[in-house]
Structure 1
Amino acid sequence: METEKWIDAGYNFIIEFGPKVIGAIIIWIIGSWVIKMLLSGTKKAMNKGNYDESLRKFLLNLINWTLKIVLIIVVLGTVGVETTSFAAVIAAAGLAIGLALQGSLGNFAGGVLIMIFKPFKIGDYIKAQGESGTVKEIEIFTTKLSTPDNKEIIIPNGSLSNGNIVNYSTEATRRVDFTFGVGYDSDIKRTKEVIMSVINEHDLILRDPAPAINVSELADSSINFFTRVWVNSGDYWTVKFDVIERTKEALDAAGIDIPYPHQVEIQKQG
């Protein structure tokens, strides 16, 4: 009799849970295959998009574990395990972790956006968050800049992705602007000729677009000439310094006065 009870119980267990277990196994096999295909497709898309290696690994692991947790919950639900409380615990834990790490998560999200949309890349010279420098590293949470005087600046990606970014390296050419002031006794036409001669003699200045020299202001003690030239981006600072120096020398050689501020002291005798 006891044996028959055990056989009946086993039979009833198989009848009741057998299809569920088989269904759960099938769901696990199919789900695992789907996850594998999704990860493979995501990896190929990231490779085509030239995603950063550290970001690629992190995202793939995050997607893998997220999908596997969802699959486990579905499998447990299939065999009859109550998953509502289990899902609630996971959601509560996720919320707690998110609140505790909201700053880091914001920086992580910023890093993802930077690596996806690529407003700059390593080697670009940028200005952001009041700092300027060459991009040295783009990490998950921060971006490192190297300044011209060899300082390292670390900027959180959250604020970096939400602020204005000036990328000086995106375009192949840049415009260099100068303002040269000469005395009011100077001849405007002659001054333009002297400045233009300096520009025409410089090998690094492009001829297209053409340089431009215009009187921009009649200031308190000088006539100001706004001068614009175009150069290859890598030659910006070389041209900037060269033209200033050469123009000063050329104006001196031409006898054109460069004024400097004067103070007139008036004494009133009482």
Structure 2
Amino acid sequence: MSAPEFVDVAINDLSTVERVAVTVVSLAALVAAVLFSRRESARRESRLSTVAAAVGAFAVVVVTTVVVVVAWDAETIAWAAVASFQVQATMLVRAFLSVMFLVGVYVGTGVIHRAVSRFVKRTEGISEHQAEITYRIIQISVYVIALVIVLNLWGIELGGLLIGAGFAGIVLGMAARQTLGAVIAGLVLMFSRPFEIGDWVKIGDKDGIVTDITIVNTRLQTFDGEYVMLPNDLVGSDEVVNRSRKGRLRIHVEVGIDYTADVDEAMSLAKDAMGDVDDILTVPRPQVVLKEFGDSAVVLDLRFWIDKPSARRKWRAQTAVISAVKSAFDEAGVKIPFPQREVSGRAETGGFRVSEQPTVEATEPEDADQPGSAVRKDSKGEGDADDADEEDETDE
């Protein structure tokens, strides 16, 4: 008796309970193989190991299926099912080549990912975010090329497909022009890196901390607690000021001194006062520069630096400097003037008449005994006497 005949006889002699036991053991082995492959692929964290685990699991599935079919003496039914599909050899070859090609592309993109990661670690000018964007672009390009090759392998004409895709692209481009512009601007921002997450920036009239950068928009948190979402096309076309890039920031504070004050003394006092402030850097040293002649003061520009720039550090340092300089000027008697105006009148109009006391209109007294009333009466009496004398002289 040959080996196949012995196997057939042995299988035919199996009872129903034994067939069920063989099926249960086969399924348990299948589950164990799948779990083992998942654990190994997760532990190794490489695409090659993932593919190997998938191939191993597929082989176990095939073997388990064959064992179950043979155990239940269902070979005839299985072959009849296969024959009913009328599968041709060329289709099987195409399917096998397509699967193997796609598996190779999947493994190849994993190799590209590791190569890009190693390149980023050796290069300081490229961030991980830029490397990830580069890898995604390469991955999409490779997948598109692989899809075109597989379609050609199956004899699918791409002419009509490309024409339809081109027409659809035109329609979508017209409908989503602003969104596509934001996406393109987002790619440019990700590669040019004018700012990164956590930077303190000023974009147009918006000032805040960058909280997120997506392919479509950039998100800021202002110092009033507001979240602002800016489309990337607006960010790319507007002025961007990054206050965190260099790790330090120079702050300007203007203060005016009286024109009669000693400028050199005031500058020295301001510089010494800034030197005693702990919230600013000593290197570079604080500086005091004469800026301009103001309307009522000589304007000094106080310049100092802070490290790790943030709005809170800026406000704290600015407050400390203003308080220290104000105290130093008060102790030394340096006057910080307030705006004054000099008013003059034109000569041709007579100028201004200035009175030391306000003019008070005379009122008629109610009581005749008041001194003012008596004077007026006396004056009036004297006037009447004079008039009488004049009349006498006339008569004469």
- Please report the TM-score for the alignment, with normalisation by the length of structure 2: 0.55
Residues 248-263 of structure 1 correspond to what in structure 2 (within 5 A)?
A: 248-263=326-341
CA displacement, residues 93-122 of structure 1 (integer Å, 9 cap, x when unaligned): 223222222211221222233333332122
Q: Tell me the amino acid that sits aligned with residue 221 of structure 1.
A: S
Q: Larger radius of gyration, structure 1 or 2?
A: 2
Cα distance in 1 for residues equivalent to 2:106 and 2:146: 8
Partner of 2:381: none
Partner SS for 1:150: coil
Q: Identify which of 37, 51, 60 aligns with 2:108.
A: 37
Q: Tell me the amino acid that sits aligned with residue 166 of structure 1.
A: V
Q: Identify which of 266, 291, 297 aligns with 1:191.
A: 266
Q: Tell me the amino acid that sits aligned with residue 280 of structure 2.
A: I
Cα distance in 2 for residues equivalent to 1:115 and 1:46: 17
Partner of 2:229: 154
Partner SS for 1:159: helix
- Cα 1:131–1:248 change in 2 (3 A) is same
Residues 57-96 of structure 1 correspond to what in structure 2 (within 5 A)?
A: 62-63=140-141, 66-76=144-154, 79=155, 81-96=156-171
Q: Identify which of 228, 231, 247 aligns with 2:325.
A: 247
8 Å CA contact 2:258–2:337 kept in 1: the answer is yes
Q: Identify which of 240, 245, 250 aligns with 1:165.
A: 240
- Cα 1:156–1:43 change in 2 (3 A) is farther
Q: Identify which of 180, 203, 215 aligns with 1:128.
A: 203
Q: Can you give the 5+ residue segments of structure 2 that lack an aligned partner in the other structure?
A: 1-87, 121-126, 351-396
Q: Tell me the amino acid that sits aligned with residue 302 of structure 2.
A: T
Larger helix fraction of residues:
2
Q: Tell me the amino acid that sits aligned with residue 189 of structure 2.
A: I
Q: Tell me the amino acid that sits aligned with residue 162 of structure 2.
A: A
Q: Identify which of 228, 231, 248 aligns with 2:306.
A: 231
Deviation at 1:151, TM superposition (A): 1.4
Cα distance in 2 for residues equivalent to 1:162 and 1:31: 41
Cα distance in 2 for residues equivalent to 1:162 and 1:42: 32
- Cα 1:198–1:185 change in 2 (3 A) is same
Cα distance in 1 for residues equivalent to 2:113 and 2:171: 29
Q: Tell me the amino acid that sits aligned with residue 109 of structure 2.
A: L
8 Å CA contact 2:105–2:146 kept in 1: the answer is no
Greater shift in the superposed pair: 166-175 or 111-120: 111-120
2:275 pairs with 1:220: no
Cα distance in 1 for residues equivalent to 2:150 and 2:204: 44
Partner SS for 1:51: helix
Cα distance in 1 for residues equivalent to 2:167 and 2:115: 33
Deviation at 1:36, TM superposition (A): 4.1
Cα distance in 2 for residues equivalent to 1:28 and 1:164: 50
8 Å CA contact 1:39–1:64 kept in 2: the answer is no
- Please report the TM-score for the alignment, with normalisation by the length of structure 1: 0.78
Partner of 2:355: none
Residues 173-188 of structure 1 correspond to what in structure 2 (within 5 A)?
A: 173-188=248-263
Q: Can you give the 5+ residue segments of structure 1 that lack an aligned partner in the other structure?
A: 1-13
Deviation at 1:173, TM superposition (A): 1.5
